[in-house]
Amino acid sequence: MTHDGVVSRLEQLGLILGKDFDLNTLGVGAILGSAYAGRFSLAAVGALDDVKMRICVIDGVGDHHERVVHCLFAASSELRSAKTADWGRPQG
């Protein structure tokens, strides 16, 4: 699905671009370590069951790489903090 198609589908669910979600497209020469693919509000996370992004990259020597990223994996779990050491511990 294209970027515009995804935006349209999310808007059909009542989500608002720029408020509930933001999707980024990257072009030639983008530095992947400094970019984001998408951002979702709590309302968007609650409205969506699963979001997967397919990312295709051609590196400097012409090799093709493709990954499917599960964007909402574990999004229903609230972390105590952003520190890796706290992940997976029971809340409360």
Mean pLDDT per 10-residue interval, the chain, length 92 residues: 89 92 80 76 85 83 89 65 51 50
pLDDT at 3: 85
pLDDT at 87: 47
φ, ψ dihedrals at 86, nearest 5°: -90, -10
Q: How far is the C-alpha of 74 from the C-alpha of 88, rounded, in Å?
A: 10
Total number of domains in the chain: 1
Maximal C-alpha separation, the chain? 50
Domain assignment present for 88: no
Domain assignment present for 11: yes
Question: Residue 24 belongs to what domain range?
Answer: 3-81
Domain assignment present for 67: yes
Domain assignment present for 91: no
Domain assignment present for 87: no
Q: How far is the C-alpha of 56 from the C-alpha of 66, rounded, in Å?
A: 4
Domain assignment present for 90: no
pTM for this prediction: 0.64
- The H or E element that residue 43 is part of is helix 42-47
Domain assignment present for 58: yes
Helix (H, G, I), strand (E, B) or coil at 87: coil
Show Cβ contacts of residue 59 under 8 Å, excluding neighbours closer than 6 positions: 65
Domain assignment present for 34: yes
